[in-house]
Amino acid sequence: MEKLLPRFLEYVAVDTQSDPDSQTTPSTEKQWKLAKKLVLELHQIGMQEVAIDENAYIMATLPSNTKKDCPTIGFIAHFDTTPDYTGENVKPQIVTDYDGGEIVLDARSNSVLSPDYFPDLLQYTGQTLITTDGTTLLGADDKAGIAEIITAMEYLIQHPEIPHGKIRIAFTPDEEIGRGAHKFDVKRFGADWAYTVDGSQIGELEFENFNAAGAKVFFDGRSVHPGYAKGKMINAIGLANTFMSLLPKHEVPETTEDRQGFFHIHTVSGKVEHAQMELIIRDHDEEQFQARKALLADIAEKINTTVGETVVRLEITGQYKNMAEKVAPVFHIVELAEEAMQDLGIEPIIKPIRGGTDGSQLSFMGLPCPNIFAGGHNFHGKYEYIPLESMQKAVLVIAKICELTAEKLVKYGKSKKR
């Protein structure tokens, strides 16, 4: 475990911010820097079949050390960080023996990590916290997952007395822009199932997620002199405002939880002649998800009918689906992770993901892939932090899943379903 913290700090120091406007894979050249470093490190700790392809997808193998006919299992994490917040010049702060009070991240900007606003902090009194310096994100999403997987593999290599079957690991680019699984070669990976190590607080275990789509709305106006605009001008910004006003006001991220869906407008730009809006659509329920997409089309049609011409154009792109459909038939893979946590004194927190991971796409590509915790909080911003102790527990959970698989399952072993 002594290598876990320095390993993590080394990873977050590398800027791997992804770019949704790029058409390359990875979407940013800087992701290669960490990818190549990870390949070298996997060789150094003794992993086998280490490979990186032309799109920076990394795969490696820990061979079986048992004669049992065990399933091949996998662990997956991503090395890019969100495009919405800078990952450049990350300078983590280490808070040892956290006292339960406020943590000043950056005095100049008055950035304070406070339990008054983030009560989850109080769970970690007395522990070691890794925080940002108040000017960047931390990058625990998902460099913590990478550090934990590599540390767990090194731990198993150094403890051959722990039985395990064949283990495959993979690290991917561009998860944060929804493309992490797009060029993932499931056949080459060769696992019966896998786990993404990409969850939040300690104990999280997730096997269902949002159905997701992205939408772009284009508004075409007509610009004339404002003094003579009556009956002539069509203000694209006003059209965008009308579109927003017709969306359900309380179905937004800041007012929803659990399985409640939402619309999230994240980008609006434009002038009188042309404006553009980008939003995401999320819902766990497939029927309600389709209804949300239909509502956007209805709003566009209503505005066009009112104006008397086509001034609103809508493009909707599917992103991922609810993995529960593919995990339910092999539910023992969830039960296995749950048992691993319980054996280590961790209370499993089984809940739906209010987002998506590579696992949701991989499940529909033939690789059932629940999600387990990496330990971080407040991802994608300057208030991000992660307890070191949670990271250590994640390492042990990964190792324990490997051990339990060898002890309890033969290939395609039967299990009760919930």
List, for residues 35-52, the tens digit of each pLDDT value: 999 999 999 999 999 999
- 132-148 pLDDT per residue, tens: 999 999 999 999 999 99
Assess whether pLDDT exceeds 80 at residue 356: no
Q: Where are the beta strands (DSSP E) in 173-307?
A: 193-199, 204-206, 211-220, 262-270, 274-283
- 95-133 pLDDT per residue, tens: 999 999 999 999 999 999 999 999 999 999 999 999 999
Could you tell me the two tokens for 188? Answer: 């080459």
Residue 411's pLDDT band, with cuts at 50, 70 and 90, is low
For this structure, is 175 an active site residue?
yes
For this structure, is 142 an active site residue?
no
Task: Tell whether omega for the bond before 142 is within 30 degrees of 0, i.e. cis.
Answer: yes
Q: What is the mean pLDDT of the chain?
A: 94
Question: Quick one: pLDDT at residue 418?
Answer: 33
pLDDT above 90 covers a percentage of the chain that reads 90
Please give the Cα distance from 280 to 266 (Å, whole number).
8
370 and 75 Cβ atoms separated by less than 8 Å: no
Question: Quick one: pLDDT at residue 417?
Answer: 37
pLDDT above 70 covers a percentage of the chain that reads 97
In sequence order, which residues have a C-beta less than 8 Å from that of residue 230 and are 6 or more positions away?
A: none
Fold agreement (4-209+322-408, 211-320): no
Please give the Cα distance from 129 to 112 (Å, whole number).
14
Assess whether pLDDT exceeds 90 at residue 408: no
Parse the chain into domains and list their residue ranges. 4-209+322-408, 211-320
Hey, is 60 helix, strand or coil?
strand
- Counting other chains too, the contacts that 232-241 makes at CB distance below 8 Å and 24 or more residues apart are 233/272, 234/307, 234/311, 235/272, 236/270, 236/271, 236/272, 236/273, 236/274, 236/275, 236/311, 237/270, 237/271, 237/272, 237/275, 239/275, 239/303, 239/307, 239/311, 239/312, 240/268, 240/270, 240/275, 240/277
Question: Quick one: pLDDT at residue 352?
Answer: 86
Select 211-320's CATH number: 3.40.190.10, 3.40.50.20, 3.30.70.360, 1.10.3720.10: 3.30.70.360
Assess whether pLDDT exceeds 80 at residue 150: yes
Which of 49-53, 226-230, 386-390 comes out lowest in average pLDDT?
226-230
The class (CATH top level) of 4-209+322-408 is: alpha beta
Please give the Cα distance from 292 to 236 (Å, whole number).
23
Q: Which DSSP letter does residue 109 get?
A: T
Residue 294 buriedness (CB in 10 A; 0-12 / 13-18 / 19+): exposed
Strand-strand pairing, 312-320 and 385-387: unpaired
174 and 26 Cβ atoms separated by less than 8 Å: yes
How confident is the model over 21-27, as a mean pLDDT?
96
Assess whether pLDDT exceeds 60 at residue 357: yes
Residue 161's pLDDT band, with cuts at 50, 70 and 90, is very high
Q: 19, 80, 148, 204: which one is catalytic?
A: 80
Please give the Cα distance from 29 to 41 (Å, whole number).
20
Could you tell me the two tokens for 225? Answer: 């002199």
Residue 1's pLDDT band, with cuts at 50, 70 and 90, is confident
80 and 38 Cβ atoms separated by less than 8 Å: no
Q: 148, 175, 206, 403: which one is catalytic?
A: 175
Residue 415's pLDDT band, with cuts at 50, 70 and 90, is very low
- What are 294's strand-pairing partners? none
